[in-house]
Amino acid sequence: MPLLEVSNLTTHIRTRRGVVRAVDDVSFTLEAGETLGLVGESGCGKSMTGLSLMGLLPPGGAVVGDSSVLLDGRELVGLPDRELRRVRGNDIAMVFQDPMTSLDPTKTIGHQVAESVLLHRGCTRAEATERAAEVLGLVGLPHPRERLKDYPHQLSGGLRQRVLIAMALANEPRVLIADEPTTALDVTIQAQILALLADLRTRLGMAMILITHDMGVTAGHTDRVNVMYAGRIAESTGTDRLFRGMRHPYTQSLLASVPRLDQDPSVQLPTIPGRPPDLTAPPGGCRFAERCRYATDRCRTEEPQLTGADDHRYACWHPTSGPLPAGTTAAVPRPDGPSPSPSPSSADRPLLEARDLVREFPVHGNRLPGRARRVVHALSGVSLELGPGETFGLVGESGCGKTTLGRLLVGLDRPDTGTVTLDGTDLGRLRGRELRERRRDLQMMFQDPYSSLDPRMRVGSILREPLQIQGIGTARQQKARVAELLTEVGLPERGAELYPHEFSGGQRQRIGLARALALTPKLIVADEPVSALDVSVRAQVLNLMNRLQAAHGLSYVVISHDLAVVRYLADRIGVMYLGRMVEVGSADDIQLRAAHPYTAGLLKAVPVPDPELERAKRGTGISGELPSPVDPPSGCRFRTRCPLARERCAEEQPVMRAFGPEHTAACHFPLSTPLADAAAGRLNGGGVPGSAGGR
């Protein structure tokens, strides 16, 4: 008998718009010691499935029909609330997505972990606290006993997620539901948390349901996968088979649209057109038919049921046989833009040049007179150059200073020292009107498509505003320009009359891009342009960004924590760590010939959508967490987490050395030999070539 047996699970949520069929006839089993992935895009029902198992549905939600959830043979559906509460947090526990908001800010972590022990074990408070210290140790919180009295805000995101896991594991549940447990974390921390979950699963013999949208995470951390689409299971099989021999076209398209580290940047990413159906009135036939490349009339009228052998079931009339073969992926070649590796060393002046940028922010809070002023060292001497039509990618963990750098580059903030030069003009010297006029060349595209557009302005006004501010054209010309912009980003012209909330996330990000384009800028700084989007939509926006760059000769600075995204867009990549640039090089240099141990670790931490490669990985890339930027380590700032660090790293700050044309890194003990050393004697260790560097 399987540990958990879910059959015909159907969940309805009553809303003002009607009844949403969030989960529709979902069946699966789960054995002890096994991890089942629930995979799909937002709104596909994967989280709702988890919440249905926990009995934690939102208001108006109910498990209906002949749904059945058997835990060790015991029926959970229809259990009275009092009984269900004994199961919750005891037999089945859940870890949620956002560690920043999942802990009560007014209670100590010890108290919060002990709370669930007290509730289910009927022990004394002292025993519960003892148990809390024990599980906090188990999840790798350093010095758990001393930290029991810590409040959540005193911990980093990674540590908070460990506390949440401890809370879920406190009563040694038999099933752990992890709902996007690492989506809000940096890749380095993500790798650590996923490794921890896998280790705990084995040690405690738990069964785990891993809910994720990330195909890389799925590849590395699940045994079997249910791919969900529009509330139903589209395909269900072992992880290896899913990636190598998927039968459902949705799985196929989903995997193809994920940019991979080894993606050929000259080929457009395949996308899934359209958006998932409205679940208040799902279509009659196959729910994916509208967006499916193989759909026939039968798909639109007759709904396919899950068929196939027990170990590989899929719901499709026209099953495929494996992944889209490379090359034939409806691959439209990327339009000819600037050459893939432009050479800024050529005579033409760089468009943008940043020199030795330093930016420090005072630490907020109160300071007694006489106590030293404390500052966050956001940027400590960063330089970079960018040619016309070039894309520079910036990667690094959160808190490394990449967003601050982006803001300095577009003149939204001024450096404390150092200069930003655009076309020969020092932005730091511009004031008032001159600066405002210069802003038309520098635009920004933001991460969150929901908060970056004024909800009370029509899209037409949002797009016109930059033109009005800069006084460009007559009202008629401005309106024409708005229509042109909408067409350019692939939105209908009548969109100008609508409000932002009437668009999907991907469409809003297109509006954001159109707004940035309105003034025909020379440079767009895109700060995490696709992080908030689903993979299929992500591919659409990435393709659009590439097309517009080619059409307008734009330069981009793309800031992202996602190396694959940066790798796909960028000609050159800069890796930042704690306010410094540690390595700069072409996309290939960074991916294939990384010289800095941090770059190598970061690459290793990125989950790859390939089960074999994921399993072959040893270790988690980079251990530990980013030190405080208030008090950065001496010498090389990465030394506290570096496997190769020696005494010299603490004493002496490494300078940028060349490892190839345009490839520089700042490390005392690099992974490959620097050019100057290789040609020792001839070059005599002369000046450091290369277009970017850090102090």
Partner 1 sequence: MTTYLIRRTGEAIVVVIGVMVLTFVMIHLVPGSAARATLGTRATAERIAVFNAANGLDRPLAAQFVTFVKQAAEGNFGTSYSLNQPVSTLLAQRLPRDAVLLGLSTLLALAVALPMGIFQAVRRGRVADHVFTVVSFVLYSMPDFFFALLLIAVFSVQLHLLPSEAPQAESVAGILADPRALVLPVVTLTLVSVAGFSRYMRSSAIGTLAQEYVQVARAKGLPERLVLRRHVLRNSLLPVITVLGLSAPGVVAGAVIAESVFNYPGMGLLFYQAATSKDYPIMLGSTLVVGVATVVGSLFADIAYSLLDPRIRYVDA
Binding site for partner 1 (CB under 8 A): 54, 56, 85-90, 93-94, 96-98, 101-107, 115-116, 119-120, 151, 153-154, 164, 167-168, 364-368
Length of the chain: 695
Let me know the angle formed at the C-alpha of 433 by 545 and 496, rounded to the nearest 5 degrees.
40
Q: Which is nearer to partner 1, 630 or 680 (CB)?
A: 630
Please count the other Cβ atoms lying within 10 Å of the Cβ belonging to residue 104.
13
Shortest separation between residue 85's beta carbon and partner 1, angstroms: 4
Please give the C-alpha separations between residue 270 and each of 314, 325, 340, 537, in angstroms, as whole numbers: 22, 12, 20, 10
Distance in Å, CB of 416 to partner 1, minimum: 24
- Which lies closer to partner 1 via its Cβ, residue 164 or residue 442? 164
Which residue is listed with tokens 């529009």?
Answer: 230
Measured from the CB atom, the residue of 126 and 368 that comes closer to partner 1 is: 368
Closest approach of Cβ 177 to partner 1, in Å? 9
- Please report how close the Cβ of residue 96 comes to partner 1 at its closest, in angstroms: 5
Query: Minimum CB separation from partner 1 for residue 91, in Å?
Result: 10
Pick the closer one to partner 1 by CB: 166 or 656: 166
State the Cα–Cα distance between residues 329 and 255, nearest whole angstrom. 12
Min separation Cβ 14 and partner 1, Å: 12
**Closer residue to partner 1 in complex, CB, 86/646:** 86
Give the amino acid at 188: T
In three-state secondary structure terms, 694 is strand
Minimum CB separation of residue 102 from partner 1 in Å reads: 4
User: Closest approach of Cβ 517 to partner 1, in Å?
Assistant: 35
C-alpha torsion 66→71→77→79, nearest 10: 150
Q: How far apart are CA 488 and CA 442, in angstroms?
A: 19
If the CB atoms of residues 105 and 424 are measured against partner 1, the closer one turns out to be 105
CA distance 224 to 271: 25
Chain position carrying tokens 């908030």: 532
- Distance between CA atoms of 119 and 90, rounded to whole angstroms? 9
CA angle 593–328–221, rounded 5-degree value: 55
Q: Are 62 and 44 in contact (CB under 8 A)?
A: no
In terms of CB distance, is 53 or 354 closer to partner 1?
53
- 683 to 238, 270, 595, 687, 689: CA distances (angstroms): 56, 47, 20, 9, 11
The pairing of beta strand 207-212 with beta strand 224-229: unpaired
Please, what is the minimum distance in Å from the beta carbon of residue 204 to partner 1? 18
CA distances 78 to 21, 63, 253, Å, are: 19, 9, 38
Name which of 107 and 648 has its Cβ closer to partner 1. 107
Q: How many CB atoms lie within 10 A of CB 196?
A: 18
Three-class DSSP category at 453:
coil
Q: CB–CB of 64/12 below 8 Å?
A: yes
User: Minimum distance from CB of 607 to partner 1 (Å)?
Assistant: 24
Q: Nearer to partner 1 by C-beta: 106 or 321?
A: 106
170 vs 582, which CB is nearer to partner 1? 170
